[in-house]
Structure 1
Amino acid sequence: MTVRLRAHHLLCVLTYVGKGYNSDFVFNLDGIASRLSDGEDVQIVEGPDDICAPLLERGDGHCLADRVRWRDRIAQGQVASALGCPVATGDTLTLGAVRLANLRSAYTTQRVSGACGGCQWRSLCATVAENGYRDVRLIAKSSTPTKCWET
């Protein structure tokens, strides 16, 4: 299987430590973090993704807002720059150890945090990064393929 993520959620999973909007959201994101840790691929999607599901089920449509699509556009460009690969809807990748370390390094140095402006979780994520990503739920167990993207 493949985890469907919008581009800015690539940034969210970097610092996820088990906190979220509600218990359903946390349960879902714990499962996604576990699947990604086990090496499941990520497919970049436009619009609501596997992380958004519990919010949409409860009638919270903030993931449909223009500001969220703006975050995706910013994240696509910054993630592409950090990885040295294009990032587009439909692309598939594995967040192995090397790729995850590269993205976390870019997040720590704020090269990929532009999409986080105005996000209510920004200060928590910054603290997680400042603490060396201690207690994060996504821990890659494999290395990363050398190819940019698998299609």
Structure 2
Amino acid sequence: MSIRLRGHHLLCLMTYVGRGYTPAFTANYDAIVARLDAGEPVRLVEGPDDVCAPMLGGGHHCLNASVTERDARARAALAGLFGGGFAPGDLIDLSAPRVAAMRAAFASGASRAACAGCQWTRLCDDIAAGGFRRVRLAGAAGDLSLPGDLSLPCAPRNRD
């Protein structure tokens, strides 16, 4: 199994503290975080994903052009961090070192251009400025080895 995530939700995960659009959305997000922390990989997708699932029936913004543009900006911002080729279909393991590297990039602003226009930006800014206290995602404790510099985690796994 894998968790289907769109590009910008990889950034949202870095600052997720249990706040969301609705109680159902938050409960779903908490379940996704638990699966990620247990080592389940992410399958990068275009369009609505597993995080969006509770919101799809209500005409929410998941299908808006501005959101798909945010996904593209997030994929581009994270491509360098993941060794390029950050494309839909890729499988990505979110180990604790990778999550730490993504948070470092987020805190430094290296991946923040993707967040332009997001209604949650101020909350995420506060969480990053506070050292990511109370965030829910720890990252999988499985394979903690990471070749080279921790700021450049491994490339995504094959799409197979």
Looking at structure 1, the residues matched to 43 and 61 of structure 2 have their Cα atoms a distance apart, in angstroms, of: 21
Deviates more, 1:80-89 or 1:103-112: 80-89
Shift of 1:113: 1.0
Distance of aligned partners of 1:72 and 1:145 in 2 relative to their CA distance in 1, 3 Å threshold: same
Does 1:56 pair with 2:56?
A: yes
5+ long unaligned stretches in structure 1: none
1:148 aligns with 2:155: yes
How far does the alpha carbon of each residue in 1:101-141 deviate from its partner, in whole angstroms, 9 at most, with x for none?
11100000111011111111111111111111111110022
1:72 and 1:122 map into 2 onto residues whose CA distance is 15
Partner of 2:5: 5
| Corresponding residue of 1:28 | 28
Q: 1:42-66 deviations in whole A, cap 9, x for unaligned?
A: 0000000000000013x13311000
| Residue 134 of structure 1: aligned partner | 133
Amino acid at match of 2:118: C
For 1:145 and 1:66, how far apart are their aligned partners in 2?
36
Q: TM-score, normalised by structure 2?
A: 0.89
SS across alignment from 1:90: coil
| Equivalent residue pairs, number | 150
Letter in 1 for 2:156: W
Distance change (3 Å), C-alpha of 1:25 and 1:144: farther
Shift, 1:97, TM fit: 1.3
Larger mean Cα displacement after TM superposition, 139-148 or 118-127: 139-148
Give the alignment's Cα RMSD to 1 decimal. 1.3
TM-score, normalised by the number of residues in structure 1: 0.94
Identity %: 45
Answering whether residue 107 of structure 2 is matched by residue 108 of structure 1, we say yes
**Offset of residue 86 of structure 1:** 1.9
**Structure 2 Cα separation of the partners of residues 38 and 85 of structure 1:** 26
Amino acid corresponding to residue 101 of structure 1 in structure 2: A
Are 2:6 and 2:71, in contact at CA under 8 Å, matched by a contact in 1?
yes
